[in-house]
Amino acid sequence: MTTPPVWSNPLRDPRDRRLPRIAGPSGMVLFGVTGDLSRKKIMPAIYDLANRGLLPPGFSLTGFARRDWADQDFAQIVHDSVKAHARTEFREEVWQQLAEGFRFVPGNFDDDQAFERLRRTIEELDEVRGTGGNHAFYLAIPPGFFADVVGQLQEHGLTEGRGDSWRRVVVEKPFGHDLESARQLNAVLDEVFPSGSIFRIDHYLGKETVQNILALRFANAMFEPIWNANYVDHVQITMAEDVGIGGRAGYYDGIGAARDVIQNHLLQLMALVAMEEPTSFDAESLRIEKQKVLSSVVLPRRLDLTTARGQYAAGWAGGEEVIGFLEEEGIKRTSSTETYAAVTLNVDTRRWAGVPFYLRTGKRLGRRVTEVAVVFKRAPHLPFAASSTEELTQNALVIRVQPDEGVTMRFGSKVPGTQMEIRDVNMDFAYGGAFTESSPEAYERLILDVLLGDPPLFPRHEEVELSWKILDPILEHWAKQDEQRKSKPEQYESGGWGPSSSDAMLARDGRVWRRP
């Protein structure tokens, strides 16, 4: 019998966040190994964690899929994925140690014999690799299969650890397609796993710049005093993509931009921007403050004037001529699925009363960018001639989430010369220029947190349901408009910045969208 690898954790103060946290003995079972998510994100992230020394020597990865593969076939799939998409350099010694823990179990989700083989495989890994009974089940599969897989795991005794060992489940968005389905999905998971063992992945929350929102606000005395309705005019949160739906017609049609992005990514970003200071950065304290924000959101009365939606039409993107959404393969010509969505939300708290939050997302826009822009009110008294400040806009603090992570401050400065002329200037902070170590990929941080059992970055089911309570009335309004044929998604040219109705939405408030 092979002696399991010895895992050791250096003695240190667990409160010292400067030192890396290393996962203890553990393994992961990956359902959906043939999908893009597994090949482009999950498998490369596991290798990068191993390359950085953050996984235990005996870590195991078991694939489960409807394929007639042997262990070495699965290892080749992982190898190719790592070579193509890993962030860190490929090192043969790291790969060999990691590959020794690869296993593959063929079967369908309704195959009892396959789950029995999975149980025996996990027991073998505990003995040979020293995984200690600690296993995370990553469901990189459509939500419609969650109940089948979770039920099989429970039936074959795979959901409960023995003694001090643990079992956890990881699920990807979308967390349902409305409030009712989200509650049903939560009920399926809660029936089998305790709440602390359910990890809902929102990869945006793993990005360094998103986490830096908390550091920016609460570690610096210069920002928090003006982070309120006395000084802030409005907040814009943007996630723009320059690509179309690609080959995702089967998934995207009927889902749309609002369900795909606003319900999770953008509402979570808004919660971090608007929340009160937590008592600590543990999971419970962060959850409480985010929930307060989401439960305080109030929709405007006129949704026809305070929301906008559109579909990209043919145009030019990235120097290439592209087709419109309705011409994409697999999309019905009568589809009312939106590829662009913009909404106006109000946070009904003392801090944010009267400050609108504008959220927008879209495909085939001018460039790929995600940012949070906190736009401040104009100075109450400007002792300058109008001509001196005609090029001066409002001060803004822009947090760039991707692709060039950093923070920009926009403010007015005097132009050199004898005249008192004021223009906008930018003060820029870029992660790449300030730190020698590059930011880890979001899935690295999130997978490591799953293995450590550290849940601060994962939305709980209460947050998911509150988010659907915000979005459902908007989706119902759009559906009613479609049924009554009062309106349909407006066509916008690919490579631009969305439909004119979105610009009109802000113009009614005397504001304009930023052009990143």
- Residues serving a catalytic function are 265
Listed in order, strand segments (DSSP E) in 218-339 are 232-240, 297-298, 307-313, 315-317, 320-322
For helices 92-99 and 71-85, the axis angle rounded to 10 degrees is 140
Distance CA 337, CA 454 (A): 37
The DSSP-derived string for 147-184 is HHHHHHHHHTT-S--STT--EEEEEESP--SSHHHHHH
Q: Which two tokens stand for residue 63?
A: 């694939």
CB 150 within 8 A of CB 169: yes
Specify whether the CB–CB gap between 312 and 244 falls below 8 A: yes
148/156 Cα distance (integer angstroms): 12
Residue 136's nearest CA partner among 86, 72, 47, 201 is 201
**To which H or E segment does residue 186 belong?**
helix 179-192
- SS3 string, 467-485, reads HHHHHHHHHHHHHHHHHCC
Q: What is the DSSP string of 105-123?
A: EE--TT-HHHHHHHHHHHH
- Does residue 4 contact residue 132 with C-beta atoms inside 8 Å? no
Identity at 473, one-letter amino acid code: P
Q: How far apart are CA 492 and CA 510, in angstroms?
A: 22
Give the Cα separation of 259 and 252 in Å (integer).
10
Cα–Cα distance, 488 to 497 (Å, whole number): 18
Residue 17 DSSP one-character state: T
Looking at residue 344, the DSSP 8-state letter turns out to be: E
CA distance 273 to 269: 6
* Contact status, residue 257 vs residue 341, Cβ threshold 8 Å: yes
DSSP class of residue 274 equals: H
Dihedral angle sign, alpha carbons of residues 205, 211, 213, 217 = positive
Contact assessment for residue 193 and residue 159, using Cβ atoms and an 8 Å cutoff:
yes
Backbone angles phi, psi at 306, to 5 degrees: -115, 10
The amino acid at residue 216 is L
CB 308 within 8 A of CB 502: yes
DSSP, collapsed to helix, strand or coil, labels residue 3 as coil
Q: How many C-alpha atoms does 230 have within 13 Å on its Cβ side? A: 7
